[in-house]
Amino acid sequence: MEYRIERDSMGEMQVPADRYWAAQTQRSLQNFEIGDEVMPREITHAFGILKKAAAIANFNLGKLNEQKCKAIEQACDEVTDGKLNDHFPLVVWQTGSGTQSNMNANEVIANRGNEIVGEKLLHPNDDVNMSQSSNDTFPTAMHIAAVLNIEDKLMPEMDRMIDTFKRLEKENEGIVKSGRTHLQDATPIAFSQEISGWRNMLEKTKKMLEAALPGLRELALGGTAVGTGLNAPKGFAEEIAKQVGNLTGKEFVTAANKFHALTSKDDLVFAHGALKALAANMMKIANDVRWLASGPRCGLGEIFIPENEPGSSIMPGKVNPTQCESMTMIAVQVMANDVAVGMAASQGNFELNVFMPVCIYNFLQSVRLLGDGLRSFNDHCASGIEADREKMKHNLHNSLMLVTALNPYIGYDNAAKTVKKAHKENISLKEACVALELLTAEKFDEVFHPEEMV
């Protein structure tokens, strides 16, 4: 491999000749050979946005000349487009402020910009990092990445799943089945009502995410090192929030209190709470689906789900609810990530939080997994759910909890006696009720209508 020599305040470093990063990135690469969790590409993308916005803001405020601004903009566009991903090699397990990833962005943008213009025009600190500090750029990148990925990657998949459940509700109107509580038979429920519960879980958690977005739209940029805004020109914070909004097409504002923005990650904790709520709801939905589809002969078997692949290497013909299993594993991971996000956010010391990389790594993994998982679950499972009407009817009329409809006529205690007799002697509720002389056969038929109990 060929190398070139790059220099920083600590001296010379050998850097691969075909890479745009420089000395500080190389030092981090060599000092933190830990794991294989590379800084999320969503953060790389966000740095491309914020560095371009900073260049435009500095130009508009008279701090950066047009030639430098244009060179930075062109390089940033390549970062945002993912063309330079191979030049961002640093792992999550680095400095807790994300300083080295900020410098990675500065160095790559400077060297690529210099290559574009054909001269050594840009300096990573003086030009690309102008009016900024790692302490305000990294939390800004965190918020930009969080908003973009929640709005553009997760919410559309939530909407698709909501639409699927709306369709299933309409398709299954009029089907009445046995309800279940405590995994035991309960009073009847319309299948469309059961599906509506699933739908509303997604609608509710989407509203929770929407409630969390305003905090994530607040940007720390302009606070520089400790929140005082040292070395940033007047109006820079407001201007850069405006430019980030222009570049993303989304609303962003400058954080009102930069001391809070640098050291507290409570907005991410709050937003991840909504992600955890979504994960909890998807755990419930996926479990409902696989229980209802269990069988094909020895389970509940009330619904059919798509058969996507063989389920066993030894049992021919076995098909498993694999999409449900994938979704529930995702839910477990998101719930575990919530612990990491909360713990990381609790580690703000004085003017800075130094657990930011691990915080955003887990946050973005949750968004990514939920978005991908919802798409997969919807396309390969939920959209193909079909009711087994005969099995639902059989289970409904075989349920002893239908006796609840008789409470107004024979009372709770007599209804309990009827259930116990029917269960012990394996006879119908009608036979038990008549045998106990609680109702005549005619009266039983008059008042007992399971399909009307929903």
Side-chain-side CA neighbours of 306 within 13 Å: the count stands at: 14
Q: Examine the residue annotation and report whether 97 is marked as an active-site residue of this protein.
A: no
CB 440 within 8 A of CB 431: no
Pairing assessment for the beta strands 11-16 and 3-8 based on DSSP bridges: antiparallel
Whole-number Cα distances in Å, 136 to 54, 102, 191, 233, 237 = 12, 10, 51, 15, 10
User: Which of the residues 131, 312, 366, 423 is marked catalytic?
Assistant: 312
- Scanning the structure block, which residue is given the tokens 């943008």? 109
Phi, psi of 181 (to 5 degrees): -130, 145
Taking phi over 0 as left and psi of -120 to 50 as alpha, with beta for the rest, 304 belongs to beta
User: Which of the residues 133, 182, 264, 380 is marked catalytic?
Assistant: 182
CB 357 within 8 A of CB 363: no
Helix (H, G, I), strand (E, B) or coil at 129: coil
CB 113 within 8 A of CB 90: no
CB 201 within 8 A of CB 182: no
Pairing assessment for the beta strands 303-304 and 253-254 based on DSSP bridges: unpaired
Q: Examine the residue annotation and report whether 312 is marked as an active-site residue of this protein.
A: yes
Per DSSP (E only), the strands in 75-233 are 176-181, 184-190, 218-219
> How is residue 221 annotated by DSSP?
T
Element (H, E) at 376: helix 356-380
Whole-number Cα distances in Å, 327 to 58, 369, 380 = 46, 9, 12
Helices of type H across 180-321 = 191-216, 236-248, 258-263, 266-292
What does the alpha-carbon distance between residue 360 and residue 142 come to, in Å, rounded to a whole number? 6
Nearest C-alpha neighbor of 120 from the set 229, 245, 6, 253: 6
Residue type (1 letter), 138: F
Helix (H, G, I), strand (E, B) or coil at 13: strand
CB 41 within 8 A of CB 82: yes
Nearest C-alpha neighbor of 370 from the set 261, 247, 277: 277
CB 64 within 8 A of CB 58: yes
Handedness of CA 345, 350, 355, 357 (dihedral sign): positive
Residues recognised as catalytic: 182, 312
